[in-house]
Amino acid sequence: MNLIDILKTIYIMAKVILTDAIINEMSIREINRHFRNEDESDKWPICGKFNVTERAIRKVRKFGLNGGLEYYLALEAEIGRIVNDERNW
């Protein structure tokens, strides 16, 4: 491993740590806004049948999480589960 590869690895690790720290400080409202802005429910396989983000937000709210990284990851996982569920295609 040369110096360039080591520096790239350090940069990626620092970016991940910084991103996690920023997400950890985000409120539920801010995280929901982020996911709504990134919503792609109009694309395959959902093709606009329903809004994946809104459905995932409603489901994850029931978990009683208070925001931060845990809420972000739960919402991201739920969106993935909905999109990959063949019953929704």
Burial of 10 (0-12, 13-18, 19+ CB in 10 A): exposed
* 45, 87 Cβ separation under 8 angstroms: no
DSSP 40-62: -TTSTTTTTSS-HHHHHHHHHHT
pLDDT the model gives residue 12: 86
Contacts (Cβ under 8 Å, ≥6 apart) of 64? none
Residue 18 or 52, more confident: 52
Q: How many independent structural domains does the chain possess?
A: 1
* 35, 79 Cβ separation under 8 angstroms: yes
Contacts (Cβ under 8 Å, ≥6 apart) of 78? 56, 59, 60
pLDDT at 66 over 80: yes
Q: Give the structural domain span for 78.
A: 3-88
Over residues 11-20, the pLDDT tens digits come to: 888 888 888 8
pLDDT the model gives residue 44: 92
